[in-house]
């Protein structure tokens, strides 16, 4: 190869290198003779225009984590959030800020064991529309709590009814749980809560309910943390109606029960109360259960003989009306001599009314049973025993209003 040919080849190689470098520079700036093209500095993607937290596909998101949609440039046009929980889809209400920059939910707290789907549309600074969809799932707690509620939904009850919630787990965060329960009435009266221990919350007004009152109980316990790692499961509203007012007064010393309906005496019935060694509680007790017939065994309430067997075992006690959780009943009695009623106290603490085996409608026990409601008050006086405890059944009427109101966890 001649010296001239070598110099020509080196010139062509240098020219090629210059052209290639120029092409790279042109690609870097994204320019052509016809103007700008999409490239490293092209229009931003939806992920850049719309920022959503929690991040897409997040799992085990805790209920206190923030849900936010933000426009990093431009403004949000629309945001739709749907919560899927218990095979139901529910829109999540929220609002876009006045400047269009952010969307926030009305309720800051996320639901547990739920899937959230977020659909957002925004306009960037150049008026181009961007749309983005993300999903995430929330924490599924291993432990839940529920409240067993009395009275039953849509029931008609007596004027002494107390709303009582018994929880299946101990409640340590009592303020949060109490705030999640709302009891209201028509006509409106002041209704206050009282905690008995760590698993029971009762509500009542200062005086007995007025006949005809409608009471509504709202439980917003779903996802409320009742104790560390233990969350509520219920979101429920129920109601009941207060019927006529009936209060019966058992005088243990006179062996009688006076039944008053709306202030008028219906009847005075002969009874037998607790014997001297097993007297009946004094105080106001509320009917919580009514059984046409039931079995009563002394062993279940601590009355046993030397062999550990129940001092009594009656398989078919008729017209049994429960007054306390500890086992005080007002019931029909067919096994005692007729002359004890109105004369002698012979029971193990219950109040007995004359009845026949199988229960008779025309007997004193049958008559009273047919005229009673859950929520009616039975008050015992002049018995040689202490006053029933406020948490034994629905005995809260034996507590002063001042003391009752101090039982609230919300100060």
For the record, the structure tokens of 178 come out as 């109490």
CA distance 373 to 243: 8
DSSP string, 350-407: SEEEE--TT--TTSHHHHHHHT--TT-EEEEES-SSPBPPTTTTT-GGGS-HHHHHTT
Rounded to an integer, what distance in angstroms lies between the CA atom of residue 287 and that of residue 81?
48
Tokens of 398: 């034996």
Distance CA 51, CA 130 (A): 11
CA contacts within 13 A on the Cβ side of 258: 9
The HSE-up count of residue 407 (CA atoms within 13 Å, CB side) is: 22
Sign of CA dihedral 332, 335, 341, 345: negative
Region at 88 (left for phi over 0; alpha for psi -120 to 50; beta for the rest): beta
Helices of type H across 3-160: 3-29, 46-49
Specify whether 331 is catalytic.
yes
Residues 6 or more apart whose CB falls under 8 angstroms from that of 48 comprise 72, 73
With a CB cutoff of 8 Å and minimum separation 6, the contacts of 307 are none
Of 297, 290, 293, nearest to 314 by C-alpha is: 297
Q: Considering 194, 255, 331, 348, which one is annotated as catalytic? A: 331
Q: Catalytic: 31? A: no
The torsion of the CA quartet 279, 283, 285, 291, rounded to 10 degrees, works out to 20
What is d(CA 379, CA 393) in angstroms, rounded to the nearest whole number? 13
Task: Give catalytic residues, as residue numbers.
Answer: 331, 350
């Amino acid at each position: 190869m001649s010296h001239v040919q070598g110099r020509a080849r080196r010139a062509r190689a240098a020219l090629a290198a210059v052209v290639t470098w120029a092409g790279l520079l042109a690609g870097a700036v994204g320019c052509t003779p016809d103007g700008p093209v999409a490239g490293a500095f092209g229009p931003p993607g939806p992920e850049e225009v719309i920022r959503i937290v929690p991040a897409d596909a997040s799992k085990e998101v805790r209920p206190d984590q923030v849900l936010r949609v933000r426009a990093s440039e431009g403004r949000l046009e629309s945001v739709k959030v749907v919560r899927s929980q218990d095979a139901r889809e529910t829109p999540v209400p929220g609002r876009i800020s006045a400047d269009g920059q952010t969307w926030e939910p009305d309720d800051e707290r996320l639901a547990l064991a739920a899937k959230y789907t977020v659909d957002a549309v925004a306009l960037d600074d150049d008026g181009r529309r961007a749309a983005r969809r993300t999903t995430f799932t929330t924490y599924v707690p291993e432990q839940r709590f529920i409240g067993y509620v009395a009275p039953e939904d849509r029931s008609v009850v007596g004027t002494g009814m107390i709303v009582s919630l018994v929880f299946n787990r101990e409640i340590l965060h009592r303020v949060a749980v109490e705030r999640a329960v709302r009891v209201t009435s028509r006509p409106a009266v002041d209704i206050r809560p009282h905690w008995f221990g760590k698993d029971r919350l009762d509500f009542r007004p200062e005086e007995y309910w007025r006949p005809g009152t409608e009471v509504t109980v709202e439980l917003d316990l779903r996802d409320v943390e009742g104790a560390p790692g233990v969350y509520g499961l219920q979101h429920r509203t129920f109601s009941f109606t207060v019927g006529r007012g009936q209060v019966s007064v058992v005088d243990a010393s006179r062996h009688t029960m006076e039944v008053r309906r709306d202030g008028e005496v219906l009847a005075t019935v002969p009874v037998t109360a607790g014997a001297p060694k097993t007297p009946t509680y004094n105080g106001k007790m509320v009917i919580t259960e009514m059984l046409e017939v039931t079995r009563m065994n002394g062993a279940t309430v601590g009355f046993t003989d030397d062999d550990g067997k129940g001092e009594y075992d009656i398989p078919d006690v008729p017209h049994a009306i429960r007054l306390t959780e500890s086992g005080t009943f007002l019931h029909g009695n067919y096994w005692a001599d007729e002359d004890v009623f109105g004369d002698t106290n012979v029971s193990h603490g219950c109040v007995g009314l004359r009845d026949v085996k199988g229960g008779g409608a025309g007997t004193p026990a049958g008559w009273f049973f047919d005229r009673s409601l859950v929520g009616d008050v039975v008050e015992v006086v002049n018995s040689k025993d202490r006053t029933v405890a406020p948490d034994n059944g629905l005995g809260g009427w034996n507590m002063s209003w001042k003391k009752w109101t101090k039982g609230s966890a919300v100060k």
